[in-house]
Structure 1
Amino acid sequence: MKPWYHKGMFWDPPREIFTIPLIGRPVVWYGLLFALGVWLGYQVALWRVTKLCGDKKRAAQLCERLAMHVIIGCVIGAKVGHVLFYEPWALIQSDPLMLIRFWEEGLASHGAVVGIAMGLAIFAKKIKIGVLAWIDVLAVPACIAGAFIRFGNFVNQEILGIQCRLPWAVTFGHPVDGSIPVARHPVQLYEAFGYLAIGYLISYVWQKENRQGFIAGLFFVCVFAFRFCMEFFKERQSALLGDANLFTMGQYLSIPLIAVGIYLMRKAARSGAKLHVAFD
């Protein structure tokens, strides 16, 4: 008999909450948690923009347009990023339409960052408020949304941690990838609570720091340095990198974003441009 601390928790919840009558479409936990994270992030962004521009009506108009660009950019970038970074090239060549089948499983956060940045660039050009100002605004909302997406991954039994024998280990009953049920690091929860902690840190710095681009830089450094560390606790996911590689795909993709964050913080420290001025 194994001691209690080798047992951990067994986790095998239903992925579907209920089925919508008449149309027969299921409502799934992942989708609900994803939507909840986006909604909470939107509320925080609305509060922040209202505080910066001092006009609640204008803030609501800006955030509605912002949300459209961010959500479209996020979905496209996350899907395309997943296919390009994690699927075999031979599979993409034989089925290129998988790049645009957004309803299928598989989203990559690094691809989402690129998609959101492109959406923000288009949005910022239209309203003539710089991209950095909007990344500053979206830093905490992004942490909230990212946390709830990871909660959804936990319910879905995907993005698995490596095997371990710890008191808080989780055995997933039916992992998405079909792997056998063994005790693992609940890395989805590590990331979820880590993103919430980073969001809290950034919200505190929000009150003290008003240099444009500093919050954006802090966000990139904290989130992707944390993500880099968390990858050590994950099973390898990319079909493009073998086990012999020093780092995972997630780590390789995080390194340039950490560098971008350091650059933005240094630039903000030198320029001293104030964030609230961008919204005047």
Structure 2
Amino acid sequence: MRSRNRAGRVRLVLALLVMTVVAGWAIAPAVFTRRDPFAVDPDATFAPPGAAHWLGTDNLGRDLYARVVYGTASSVPAALLAVTVALLVGGLLGLLAGYLRGTVDTVVTRGIDLLMSIPAFLLAMSLITTLGFGTVNVALAVGIVSIASVARLMRAEVLRIGSRPYITAARVSGRGQLQVLFLHVLPNAMRPVAALTALEFAAAVLGISALSFLGLGAQPPSPEWGALIAAGRGSVSTQWWLSIAPGVVIAVVVIAVNVLSEYLQAEEAGI
């Protein structure tokens, strides 16, 4: 048991370290690299990873490490925007459905069922076709796709909490509906939703990168992670680092977020 707990703490520390570095990349990329991600060097095209260029260079001699670092300023805020949309809209819908019940619950539940009946990636692509290409529109599309899962969990938690004695006591004491809803129900319902939010962030990173890989998100010469993978897909057998480097970064970030989500779930369960 102790060894398992120790391993869990090590994983948590590593995950926090990864997310700290990624946050630093997104906020102050110039602190982590002095190279210009858009600077062209014809004498260093397709240079493999080494001391001069840690992750190698692309077909224009641009430093790949610098492009990955600066690309974080596009990928991470886009994922945060997607999660914010899902949390605000889905959380509010689930909160109202679980608390008011009746007609509101029926309408919201049918809407959730409708959204979840459509394949997420297909729905995201359809929304982007309507909204237009670009990082912001991709983030909005991914956020809209995630609304249903957040709303469903929030509704379930509100229904569970609504029957607790302290909620009944708050109502009997004369508190208004909004006071009971936002001061008592919402804070307790948010705990499991926080773990889901972490998972949604990881899914948003993957979704936005996948859509950018298809050319629906950030456009060249933007160093967004998915666009970087797409730029190197034609020469994987020879210049493998072009796609592998940003792909590994995405994988590590997703794994770190999943570890944080597991920790939040364990805390909620009291493990």
Fold shared per TM-score above 0.5: no
Greater strand percent: which structure?
1
- Which has more radius of gyration? 2
- Could you tell me the TM-score, scaled by structure 2's length? 0.31
Greater helix percent: which structure?
2
